[in-house]
Amino acid sequence: MKLLLCFFAALHVFGAGAQTDSLLVVSWNVENFLDPRTDSTGRYTFGRFRSKCNAISKTLLLIAGRYGRLPDAVALMEVGDRYVLERLLRDTPLRKLDYSIIHYDSPDRRGIDCALLYRRSTLTLLRSAPMHLYDSSGALMRTRDILLAEFDGLAILVNHHPSKVGGDSERRRAVAMSRMQALMDSLSATPSTKPALNVDGRRPVLAVGDFNDDVWSHEGSRPAVEGTIKYNGAWEKIDGYFARGLNVNESVFSDPILSAPDRSFGGTKPRRSFSGPRWLGGVSDHYPVVFQIVIDNASSCSHTSRSGRRDSFVSLLRPLRLLDG
């Protein structure tokens, strides 16, 4: 308890810090992060929900410890509604920080959405909107919207493309990818509110999320990482990014504390929350992906915090356990 009190005090003092030439963005499919009041499966009790909130919060703080700064933005997929985000920010150590919520209800049949948390001290929101997907006949697709957030100098798109399940899945994913690329092209061609940030006429745009298709690094060979999700013993990297006018260093946060033994196929795999109706106590069947972003001509863009301090959590985070119980 004493360690946690010291930890929270340190968050309060140093939590506003950020480097002036870069941003840290996390993208994570948090596996059915559902409202226990409306979960039709009946799997979520309030105790399990609180455990999951705490585990998500502690993972983000572990990432802060690893990278020496808090994430400036956190893109989340498989979010049930705004209530779960409000509880995440109200009932966990994240309440000590300055995160705000961007969320819209989508027409998804399962009732899950995309969301974005962002730090007010490092990002200034200009506008946000849900970007619907439409089929070839112009009908609204019952799937997750692409979430658009435009900040002063940077646009972020949060994606959760249609599942591979179903006979029409490939076409539906192609529609989502085409819609995302069109949005990126349009945003990139729009002059930034900070003209000095435009590089070769491009506005910086970052699209992140769960694409339900293989999205390894865009340049060179595959990175030395197994993947973000494991299915029938095989690693896949379906979580990642696309960018315009940005330098992005990508890494999968496959920390052992988020992992469990793969007793069927060997090795390890992400420690998920549920296996069918059975509560496993993990966080997600996906690993989070971390993006260190340098905006081209970044000296013209100030993301300095109000305090001017730099986050430093490494020594405090190491002793913390991720999951309750």
Give 110-146 as a DSSP string. T--EEEEEEETTT--EEEEEEE--B-TTSPBPSSPPE
The pLDDT assigned to 192 comes to 62
pTM of the model: 0.85
Alpha carbons 240 and 159: distance in angstroms, whole number: 10
Any idea how long the chain is?
325
The pLDDT assigned to 215 comes to 85
Residues 6 or more apart in contact with residue 51 via CB below 8 angstroms: 281, 323, 324, 325
Q: What are the chain's domains?
A: 23-122+213-317 (3.60.10)
Question: 183 - beta bridge partners?
Answer: none
Beta strands in 97-238 (DSSP E): 99-103, 113-119, 125-131, 146-151, 154-160, 205-210, 229-231, 234-236
The pLDDT assigned to 263 comes to 92
The pLDDT assigned to 107 comes to 96
The pLDDT assigned to 200 comes to 59
Alpha carbons 211 and 228: distance in angstroms, whole number: 12
The pLDDT assigned to 83 comes to 97
Question: CA of 275: how far to CAs of 177, 195, 238, 279, in Å?
Answer: 29, 50, 20, 7
Determine the 3-state secondary structure of 219 from DSSP.
coil
pLDDT per residue, tens digit, the chain (325 aa), is 433 443 444 444 344 444 446 899 999 999 999 999 998 888 889 999 999 999 999 999 999 999 999 999 999 999 999 999 999 999 999 999 999 999 999 999 999 999 999 999 999 999 999 999 999 899 999 999 999 999 998 999 999 999 988 778 899 999 999 999 999 999 998 766 665 455 555 689 999 999 999 886 544 444 445 799 998 999 999 999 999 999 999 999 999 999 999 999 999 999 999 988 889 999 999 999 999 998 655 433 333 333 333 343 333 333 344 454 3
Q: 268, 261 in Cβ contact below 8 A?
A: yes
Sort strands 278-279 and 125-131 into parallel, antiparallel or unpaired: unpaired
Q: 75, 156 in Cβ contact below 8 A?
A: yes
In the chain, count of helices (H) and strands (E)? 5, 17
The pLDDT assigned to 190 comes to 75
* H-run or E-run covering 7: helix 2-14
Question: 230 - beta bridge partners?
Answer: 235
